[in-house]
Amino acid sequence: MLDIKFIRDNRDLIESAARKKHLPFDVGALLEADKKRLDLLSKVETLRAEQNKTSEKVAGTNDPAVRETFINQMRTLKEDLKRKEDELKPVLQEWQKLMLSVPNVPDMSVPEGKDENENLEIRTHGKKPQFSFTPKDHVELLESLDMADFERGTKTAGFRGYFLKNEGALLSFAIWQYTINHLVKKGYSPMIVPSLVTREVLLGSGYLPQGEEDLYKTQDGSYLAGTGEVSTMAYYMGETLLKKDLPKKFLSFSSCFRREAGAHGKDVKGAVRVHEFFKVEQVILCEASHETSVILHEELTKNSEEILQGLGLAYRVTLICGGDLGLGQVKKYDLEAWVPSQGKYRETHSASYFHDFQTRRLNIRYRDDDGKLKFAHSLNNTAIATPRVLVALIEQYQNKDGSITVPEALRLYMGKDVIQKN
């Protein structure tokens, strides 16, 4: 959410942001609703003030006739106030709805483009593996080595269900531990965070109202989050921090859930696009400085690149175009690992910063050196997500005999160098 004063003063900028993000947002409708809201609020406040004054007059007189006159005035004022408050309610609801749909302003470096096909590759790292044989896909490799069971997963959990087992489970544990150890050494505070969250928290972090179709909702009105970012952002919801304690750097582990409502027919087999998965997420709260956000955004991206490099995976970094940015994102990088069986890179990480878009919604502030309260800035980035990263890892490390070489960085946790048939 943006500051309404900023929106009033920068209508052209908001219209430009909506165009760049290819979002059908009507700034004029918001400003008109804002004008009605302010007009009605003024009238309501005036009537309340008159009501309070008249109430004092009633209490301050002993003359029955004068008292009756004031009481009649109170009755009229109360009726007028009720009418104006009833008139204000739908206007306020419309204003709030529009405010939640205002797109954040993308950074000048964000390229033009309408969708993911126009994202910009900015660098690659590592050599794509060259095989003397036709590489198998991850489904065949996992099943042949008894590392996963997709058939029983579907029987148990429904479409896109899966079991990871034996070395498939151990490999996931190893990747999590490797990632956590790497980032804890860099000063990130590890947390296991809730997957079950309230609607308020999803609204605050920007996943509602636009992303509701992709969320699982319980019969109690709570939701299952698609990333640990959501609950981590809510940790300081409604609180005021000290500037000296910024930045706050978190490393949050959680199970995650996505309906993949818009992915019909996409990646229907295997571990790329599943309904339930696990993530280790980097989340940062920092001072309200664009320069600081930019520096930390690069840090988050570098952290994830170091993890992929440590795992020895070939990958690339793409700069996300305007049309592929989320509502609240100022800038975003995707990291995409090479998947040999598909002959293309697939996303494994996303690094974004938001300025105060999320923290304004969640009311997370800090007191600056001059004593003024300011909304913090927020950033996040996937540290690792499983089972998706397994797709690239086992395919890049497969051998002709169907075995999988364990990346050197994981051998300490796995206790073996190669995964092969027993």
Please determine, looking at this structure, whether the domain spanning 116-419 carries the CATH number 3.30.930.10. Answer: yes
**Statement: residue 221 has pLDDT above 90:** yes
**Statement: residue 267 has pLDDT above 80:** no
- Which letter does DSSP use for residue 3 in this model? -
Q: Round to whole Å and give the CA distance between 236 and 96.
A: 23
Burial class (CB in 10 A: 0-12, 13-18, 19+), 230: buried
Specify the pLDDT at position 278: 98
Out of 8, 273, 367, 411, which one is annotated catalytic? 273
Q: Which two tokens stand for residue 174?
A: 């190893």
287 is catalytic: no
68 or 2, which is more confident: 2
Burial class (CB in 10 A: 0-12, 13-18, 19+), 272: buried
Specify the pLDDT at position 150: 96
Q: Which two tokens stand for residue 244?
A: 């000296």
Q: Which two tokens stand for residue 206?
A: 């920007």
Mean pLDDT of the 111-139 span = 97
Out of 347, 367, 403, 411, which one is annotated catalytic? 347
pLDDT in tens, 346-369: 999 999 999 999 999 999 999 998
Coil/strand/helix, residue 86: helix
Q: Round to whole Å and give the CA distance between 230 and 246.
A: 19
**Poorest-pLDDT segment among 92-101, 150-159, 211-220, 260-269:** 260-269
Out of 350, 361, 378, 395, which one is annotated catalytic? 350
388 is catalytic: yes
pLDDT in tens, 273-305: 999 999 999 999 999 999 999 999 999 999 999
What mean pLDDT value characterizes the chain? 95
The beta strands (E) that lie in 223-343 are given as 223-224, 240-242, 248-257, 276-286, 315-319, 331-339
Q: Round to whole Å and give the CA distance between 313 and 308.
A: 6
Mean pLDDT of the 240-249 span = 96
Q: Would you list the domain boundaries of the chain?
A: 4-99, 116-419
**Statement: residue 422 has pLDDT above 70:** yes
What letter represents residue 17's amino acid? Answer: A
Mean pLDDT of the 60-86 span = 86
Q: Round to whole Å and give the CA distance between 127 and 349.
A: 19
Specify the pLDDT at position 264: 67
> Which range scores top for mean pLDDT: 62-71, 191-200, 257-266?
191-200
Q: What is the layout of strands, in order, in the sheet containing 365-367?
A: 240-242, 365-367, 373-375
The Cβ of residue 277 has, within 10 Å, a number of other Cβ atoms equal to: 21
pLDDT in tens, 311-330: 999 999 999 999 999 999 99
Mean pLDDT of the 82-88 span = 94
Specify the pLDDT at position 68: 83
- Architecture per CATH, domain 4-99, reads as Orthogonal Bundle (1.10)
Specify the pLDDT at position 296: 98
Specify the pLDDT at position 260: 86
The band of 381, judged by pLDDT with boundaries at 50, 70 and 90, is: very high
258 is catalytic: yes
Q: Round to whole Å and give the CA distance between 355 and 287.
A: 9
Out of 172, 229, 258, 365, which one is annotated catalytic? 258
Specify the pLDDT at position 69: 84
Q: Which two tokens stand for residue 141?
A: 């490799």
> Helices (DSSP H) in 23-63: which residue ranges?
27-59
347 is catalytic: yes
Give counts: helices (H), strands (E), the chain.
Answer: 13, 18
Share of residues in the chain with pLDDT > 90 (%): 87
Count the residues in the chain: 422
Specify the pLDDT at position 338: 98
